[in-house]
Structure 1
Amino acid sequence: MTMLPTLRSLTTNRELSLLLLTPEGALPTGILDAPIEWVHSSDLADPTPFLSPGQVLLTTGTQFDEAAGGDSAELTTAYVARLAAAGVSGLGFGTEVVRAGTPDTLVDACLRMGLPLFEVPYRTPFLAVARAAADMTAEERFARRSWTLAAQRAIALAALRPDGLSASLQELSRQLDRWVALFDANGALDRVFPPEAAALASAAEDEATRLLRRGHRASSSLAAVGETVSLQTLGRRDQLRGVLAIGGSTELDQASNEAITAVVALAGLSLEQSHTLDRARNRLRSALLAALRRGDVELAQSVSVEIWGELPEAPVSIALLGAPAEQLHSITEYLEARVAERPGALFFAPDPAVDNQIALVLGEPGLPVLEAVSANFAVHVGVSEPGGYADFTGGLTQAEQALARSRDGAAGVSGFGELAEEGVLAYLSTTDAREIGRATLQPLRAHDESAGTEVLRTLRVWLEQNAQFDKAAAALGVHRHTVRARIALAERLLDRDLSGFRGRAEVWAALVVAGEEPSA
């Protein structure tokens, strides 16, 4: 509960005995609860040069003395208008000093201008009103300083927990009564407290990404979904590790910002340490991958048990995942979480032989991770057939071939088993053989385009029908002599003898690798 002075707290203070003359219902909403910066007294006809917005003015009304010609409705209205324009929060009129009671013209003018007006009785010195406001301000400052110290202590204690970063962010959210989110070095939402605020935090993702792309420490704020969101980069200049975002319906005060500063320092240190630790872990994982390639399964197993748990039990599938460099950190964190969830289901390591590639070793329980990571990050994945660790290099080769086939289409998971079912020619279609096949068939395609014939289609259907002229003619809906004539023309254009297996096999291969698939 705030202790800053407001018109409500002053006018309800029994010791001051102030009387509000302008009913709350006739005033702007919330004006009685707005914080007061200071209480000032003056009887000048125009005190506004000495006033600041948010201040309360006290006056005894000598400027409204009828003898001085000051008690006209026009002059009073102009006086109140100047105060309202200057942002004065309220006006207090001291009675029984110059005149008894508060002038009706002043009450009417304040009602029209929406300026709160209260009466100060003779027994209440103006100094007492100012002191009451000052005391409330001092109490509030002391309370906020005490809150800051308590909040910083609670955050520091939270940082000592096993997951110190998450615990610190959660504690900050609790202390501020706001949602707190962490975006990773790529600008993706990493974690948010409370979790149900994830949708609100996502609205700040573009701004977090913008700050990170600038490449140096910065802060900003934005209005999103009816809230004010404050963002602060984490990490050293040119080595940013993420962005801290805090959202709420009101502006942050100095005490809140001091607590946030403490968390920014803790989070930056934690992310820097985490980055260093991640690099060390990745080097160790890569070393274990090299050991598995050499066939030293016992060494890889003994090290893995101490750090991550047992390696997946054979038979295992080997998978290769290719991803853009900017996604590697996020994918690695995702896989680390899956390893923690199901120890022994999978092992992964950055492939030191190929940039931006991750190798995975998976038992059957870990296989669903491949579809999940491919869907979440839109990456290509190739996976081998299950086998033992003794044929680890063979599994890697299968995964490489499957990954190459996966890259031939949309992001997804391609299995070597599917590739094997399609046959050798299907695999060749992913290599440079495709251009050779197209070049081989180009004379037929050029003739069909210039002469309006269907030699290429006829040849394709004829081979599909095991080079039987009658069946090909039936499939094409033409006479068998027409098929014979077209095949003879194809032989001349291709300069190949199609009467034997070798010539037919070469043309069939060209059709497959060039993408000229036979019709059903």
Structure 2
Amino acid sequence: MITVQDVLSAPTLRLTSMSGTAGVNNPITAAHVSELTRPRDWLQGGELLMTVGLMLPMTESGCRDYVRDCVAGGVAALCLGLGHGLPYQAPPAPLVEAAREFGVPLLIAPDSVPFIAITKWIFSRIAEEEKRALEDAIELSYQLTAVAAGPSPLSGLLGTWRSVSGSLCAVLDASGGVVQLSDGVDAAFLQDAEDQVGRYTTRARGWTAFGGAGRRELELHPVRIENPLAFVVLERSADSALRHASNVLVSLLSLELERRHVAGEPERQRRAAALAQLLRPGLRRERAHQIASGIGLSRDPLQIAVVRSTPEAVADLTVRIGSALPDAVLRQRNSDIEIAHPESAGLADLLSGVAEGCAVGIGALVPVDALAVSAMQARSLVAVSARLGRAVDAKEGETVQLLLRLGSADVLSGFSTAVLAPLDQLEPRERVELQRTLEEWLRANGAWDPAAAALSVHRNTVRNRIDKVAALTGRNLDQADDRMELWLALKARAVTPSTDEPD
């Protein structure tokens, strides 16, 4: 990195500063000549901006506006050329004062040093630094490559990177779980890394490859783009050699993670075949436990989840889910991914995040010899999940409302109105009274006393009201079909309530 002090110290340039030590550590990234009085739009930041002041209004306000504009453009320093045939033979006081006011280094170039000499010197130094950085990066890449060929590539690569660069690095799986950490990784770094992974996997609005809180800026590198196998998260460095070498680090880590995945394919196939046996109906309990223990499913009970993907994405998604659920056993079945997993309170949320946009059905928690039942439930719930647009678990309550939500609002409203229309014609007070009585009576399975207790009325009052409902609707409430029709109508009315109901 070239600084203003480096330029001042160059014996061939013989520049002097009119601003003392202000800004001498500013980095210089380029040299630029301009006689514009408003050069900001032509700057990228970090320039040594050279001028002879040809168009510059040499007044206090004119110089202040000029320097302010240069500061807004991000200049590292200003350089004024003096000498024979130039507008100024000595530093103008208004420009010197403006530079001091804004803390911008003002350098003076003597008549014998043309701007082209300063430009060539700066770009020559930049080229030398880039060459040196590239050589350092190549040397560091050789070290990393040698470590990658060793017995412990992941830990070796992260350890070498930490010792050489001083930067932290973490390798996380598809769900943000830790695979490997470099020394010195603290809770704050890990939280930032997990947040970056979460933002990537959910494609949060405004996501970028760089993030982190406070002074720390992190780089996130997914191993595979669409359905990442893992993530490499490291501190972003300002050193160009480390930036070059970080690409090699990420490549070597990615190769090792891919190698591990490929090496584990035979074992995954064996576990998938064993899961297929466990999902067969009628498996004896002893045999089921034997098979489950052989593939690491030692916990009992278990549950089955099914994720429906597409033929093009199912393979990558299987890998991603496997990384997110290391304790699970997976089987790919056409476009479905069947997952055997111990009960997890966050399983639905995790699968919804990892398999975003896919239908997810989750069976009940069952003994290992009854996994076929859980699988049947999960498969049947996939279609329900596709309709509802969310994961559906067999243990969810309100099954009737779940089924009702599969219909459109118009259909449900039409059905409930058709069944309850005779009651809707009553005065609001009587209508609500009869509907509440009917609902409590049906909930009590036709028992008079429990319904009366729930309504705080006499059992004869309940009987009279139910008789009136039967007469109005034409239903025989001794018949299960008629009771169910009224029950479904009430539930449909609850899902799509009428807007004219009284408070």
Corresponding residue for 1:145? 134
Corresponding residue for 1:393? 372
CA offsets 1:146-192 (integer angstroms, 9 cap, x no match):
31122212332343467746865775577556666889999999999
* Match status 1:311 vs 2:296: yes
Change in Cα spacing, 1:11 to 1:403, as seen in structure 2 (3 Å) is closer
Corresponding residue for 2:338? 358
Cα separation, 2, equivalents of 1:445 and 1:372:
40
Cα separation, 1, equivalents of 2:426 and 2:49:
96
Corresponding residue for 1:24? 20
Corresponding residue for 2:277? 291
User: Of the candidates 335, 339, 349, which is equivalent to residue 330 of structure 2?
Assistant: 349
1:24 Cα deviation after fit: 2.0
Cα separation, 2, equivalents of 1:314 and 1:210:
34
Corresponding residue for 2:356? none
Change in Cα spacing, 1:158 to 1:24, as seen in structure 2 (3 Å) is farther
1:437 Cα deviation after fit: 11
CA offsets 1:431-486 (integer angstroms, 9 cap, x no match):
58998999997665111111233444333444556756677567656677665554
- Equivalent residues in 2 for 1:120-519 (5 A)? 140-141=129-130, 143-160=132-149, 164=153, 168=157, 196-197=188-189, 202=195, 248=236, 250=238, 253=240, 255-263=241-249, 265-266=251-252, 269=255, 283-294=269-280, 295=283, 310-313=295-298, 315-322=300-307, 333=320, 336=323, 339=326, 346-350=327-331, 352=333, 355-362=335-342, 367=343, 370-378=344-352, 382-389=362-369, 391-397=370-376, 414=393, 445-452=420-427, 453=431, 454-462=433-441, 476=455, 483-493=462-472, 495-498=474-477, 503-510=478-485, 516=491
Cα separation, 1, equivalents of 2:132 and 2:91:
38
Change in Cα spacing, 1:178 to 1:468, as seen in structure 2 (3 Å) is closer
Cα separation, 2, equivalents of 1:471 and 1:234:
62
Cα separation, 2, equivalents of 1:511 and 1:451:
17
Change in Cα spacing, 1:385 to 1:272, as seen in structure 2 (3 Å) is closer
CA offsets 1:466-515 (integer angstroms, 9 cap, x no match):
756677567656677665554334444555544xxxx2544454455566
1:412 Cα deviation after fit: 7.8
Q: Structure 1 regions of 5+ residues with no counterpart?
A: 41-51, 60-72, 212-218, 340-345, 420-425
User: Of the candidates 12, 17, 27, which is equivalent to residue 34 of structure 1?
Assistant: 27
Cα separation, 2, equivalents of 1:188 and 1:462:
51
**SS of the residue aligned with 2:329?**
strand
Cα separation, 1, equivalents of 2:448 and 2:220:
74
Contact 1:429 1:512 in 2 (8 A): no
Contact 1:182 1:191 in 2 (8 A): yes
CA offsets 1:230-259 (integer angstroms, 9 cap, x no match):
7878769x9987887776485x64x44532
Corresponding residue for 1:62? none
Residue 348 of structure 1 aligns with an amino acid whose one-letter code is: V
Cα separation, 2, equivalents of 1:117 and 1:249:
30
1:358 Cα deviation after fit: 3.0
Cα separation, 2, equivalents of 1:221 and 1:314:
40
Residue 290 of structure 1 aligns with an amino acid whose one-letter code is: A
**SS of the residue aligned with 2:90?**
helix
Change in Cα spacing, 1:148 to 1:448, as seen in structure 2 (3 Å) is same
The alignment's C-alpha RMSD in Å is 6.6
Cα separation, 2, equivalents of 1:506 and 1:150:
81
Change in Cα spacing, 1:247 to 1:445, as seen in structure 2 (3 Å) is same
Change in Cα spacing, 1:284 to 1:351, as seen in structure 2 (3 Å) is same
Cα separation, 2, equivalents of 1:310 and 1:234:
27
**SS of the residue aligned with 2:91?**
helix
Name which one, 1 or 2, has greater alpha-carbon Rg: 1
Q: Structure 2 regions of 5+ residues with no counterpart?
A: 34-42, 53-57, 100-104, 354-359, 493-503
Residue 425 of structure 2 aligns with an amino acid whose one-letter code is: S
User: Of the candidates 5, 10, 14, which is equivalent to residue 8 of structure 1?
Assistant: 5
Corresponding residue for 1:67? none
Contact 1:186 1:209 in 2 (8 A): no
CA offsets 1:187-245 (integer angstroms, 9 cap, x no match):
9999997564456564697689879xxxxxxx988999778877878769x99878877
Contact 1:371 1:412 in 2 (8 A): no
CA offsets 1:360-390 (integer angstroms, 9 cap, x no match):
154xxxx3xx11333445576645454353x
Identity %: 18
Residue 30 of structure 1 aligns with an amino acid whose one-letter code is: G
Cα separation, 2, equivalents of 1:491 and 1:39:
93
Contact 1:440 1:510 in 2 (8 A): no
Corresponding residue for 2:39? none
Cα separation, 2, equivalents of 1:221 and 1:437:
48
Contact 2:416 2:490 in 1 (8 A): no
**TM-score normalised to structure 1 length:** 0.55
Corresponding residue for 1:105? 90
Corresponding residue for 1:48? none
Cα separation, 2, equivalents of 1:358 and 1:494:
47
Residue 349 of structure 1 aligns with an amino acid whose one-letter code is: L
Contact 1:444 1:493 in 2 (8 A): no
1:136 Cα deviation after fit: 6.4
Residue 286 of structure 1 aligns with an amino acid whose one-letter code is: A
Cα separation, 2, equivalents of 1:388 and 1:36:
66
Cα separation, 2, equivalents of 1:192 and 1:384:
36
**SS of the residue aligned with 2:425?**
helix
Cα separation, 1, equivalents of 2:18 and 2:469:
102
- Equivalent residues in 2 for 1:66-77 (5 A)? none
CA offsets 1:322-358 (integer angstroms, 9 cap, x no match):
477789967855654654xxxxxx54213516x4443
1:289 Cα deviation after fit: 1.6
Contact 2:169 2:233 in 1 (8 A): yes
Corresponding residue for 1:214? none
Change in Cα spacing, 1:226 to 1:327, as seen in structure 2 (3 Å) is farther
**SS of the residue aligned with 2:297?**
coil
Contact 1:182 1:189 in 2 (8 A): yes
**SS of the residue aligned with 1:24?**
coil
Contact 2:13 2:118 in 1 (8 A): no
